[in-house]
């Protein structure tokens, strides 16, 4: 069997994007008949019609819809390989990057990151948006440039990841809470009134499942008296009540200022917080620079980044 003509990949990408033989022909500077012959070759090579007539329009087959993103990614990666690496002038770089981050990340790492970016690339703007779920669609669709979080099943398999730091749960109370005095045992922790964080109303307990699992092994159970949608809300309640919040230590460092924080009196697993991005931006010089800035800032602010 002869090897496939890789030039067909570019034609396939254009055809799938345009959905029209005539428009694809204009974009590739070919005649309509030449583009029709290319489509015929693609159909023969893939064993699928790819584009079929629906009235006056051409619509993609299920196989073509499945191939669209994959082909686009392959063509972009090939173009980046064949293109010389660009040297960017950070002083002249004018660009807005959108970062989707978990709650507390901006408060803890944002000031140092913005100082670093402003000093090196004063015309760059960072736009922070909240991360309400772990769906990779915003990265895949290009509405988000970078994301932070814990890799999970919902994270797209094609997403690139770089570990930033480890985090763990800690207990938090108001400064005058009884737990602020004396040794904190698992029994004292469990006997208090707790506020739970659940981003999704249908899934209470998911965020701190490791905590409840560890207590169950000790024959203990927390009394949860309130469920809220975020760490900041939980900490705001704790500041004015005798409730206890259990939150990620490093993510919420600034949110917990002035409160009493303590290590949990039992062992729980740590979380690895990573920086995530789509592979189409892997070789982008400006994007690589920002990724380096974020990793450096996380290391400096914490004093011990994940190696």
* Structure confidence by residue, pLDDT tens digits, 106-152: 999 999 999 999 999 999 999 999 887 878 888 888 899 999 988 87
Walk me through the domains of the chain, giving residue ranges and CATH numbers: 7-82 (1.10.10.10), 95-167+272-302 (3.40.190.10), 169-269 (3.40.190.10)
- Quick count: other Cβ atoms within 10 Å of Cβ 58? 21
High-pLDDT (> 90) share of the chain, %: 48
How large is the average pLDDT for residues 260-270?
92
Distance, in Å, from the CA atom of 121 to the CA atom of 91, rounded to the nearest integer, reads 5
> What pLDDT score was predicted for residue 1?
55
Contact between residue 97 and residue 90 where contact means Cβ atoms under 8 Å apart: no
User: Hey, what are 271's tokens?
Assistant: 């979380």
- If DSSP codes are grouped into helix, strand and coil, which group holds residue 180? helix
Contact between residue 248 and residue 104 where contact means Cβ atoms under 8 Å apart: yes
How large is the average pLDDT for residues 77-102?
84
What's the pTM? Answer: 0.65
How large is the average pLDDT for residues 29-51?
90
Nearest 5°: the CA angle 300, 302, 307 is 80
Q: Which residues pair with 274 in a beta bridge?
A: 149, 163
Confidence of residue 7 (pLDDT cuts 50, 70, 90): confident
Q: Comparing 72 with 178, which gets the higher pLDDT?
A: 178
Contact between residue 188 and residue 171 where contact means Cβ atoms under 8 Å apart: no
Span of 18-32, 182-196, 213-227 with lowest mean pLDDT: 18-32
Contact between residue 90 and residue 61 where contact means Cβ atoms under 8 Å apart: no
> What pLDDT score was predicted for residue 99?
96
DSSP 280: G
Query: Is the pLDDT assigned to residue 303 strictly greater than 50?
Result: no
> What pLDDT score was predicted for residue 305?
38
How large is the average pLDDT for residues 60-89?
79
Chain CA centroid to CA 39, Å: 37
Phi, psi torsion values for 300, nearest 5 degrees: -70, -40
Average pLDDT, the chain: 87
> What pLDDT score was predicted for residue 208?
61
């Amino acid at each position: 069997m002869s090897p496939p003509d890789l030039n067909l990949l570019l034609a396939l990408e254009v055809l799938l994007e345009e959905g029209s033989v005539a428009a694809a022909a204009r974009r590739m500077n070919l005649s309509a008949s030449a583009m029709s012959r290319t489509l015929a070759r693609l159909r023969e090579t893939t064993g699928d019609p790819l584009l079929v007539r629906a009235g006056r329009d051409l619509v993609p087959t299920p196989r073509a819809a499945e191939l669209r993103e994959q082909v686009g990614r392959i063509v972009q990666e090939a173009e980046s390989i064949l293109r010389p690496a660009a040297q960017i002038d950070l002083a002249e770089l004018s660009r807005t990057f959108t970062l989707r981050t978990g709650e507390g990340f901006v408060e803890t790492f944002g000031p140092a990151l913005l100082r670093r970016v402003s000093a090196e690339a004063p015309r760059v703007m960072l736009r922070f948006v909240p991360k309400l779920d772990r769906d990779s669609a915003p990265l895949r669709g290009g509405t988000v440039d970078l994301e932070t979080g814990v890799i999970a099943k919902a994270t797209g398999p094609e997403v690139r990841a770089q570990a930033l730091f480890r985090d763990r749960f800690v207990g938090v109370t108001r400064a005058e809470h009884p737990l602020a005095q004396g040794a904190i045992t698992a029994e004292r922790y469990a006997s208090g009134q707790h506020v739970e964080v659940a981003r999704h109303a249908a899934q209470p307990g998911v965020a701190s499942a490791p905590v409840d699992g560890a207590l169950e092994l000790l024959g203990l159970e927390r009394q949860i008296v309130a469920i809220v949608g975020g760490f900041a809300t939980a900490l705001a309640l704790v500041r004015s009540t005798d409730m206890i919040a259990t939150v990620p230590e490093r993510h919420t460092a600034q949110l917990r200022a002035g409160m009493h924080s303590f290590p949990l009196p039992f062992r729980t697993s740590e979380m690895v917080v990573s920086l995530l991005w789509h592979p189409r931006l892997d070789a982008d010089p400006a994007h690589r620079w920002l990724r380096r800035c974020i990793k450096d800032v996380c290391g400096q602010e914490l004093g011990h980044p994940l190696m």
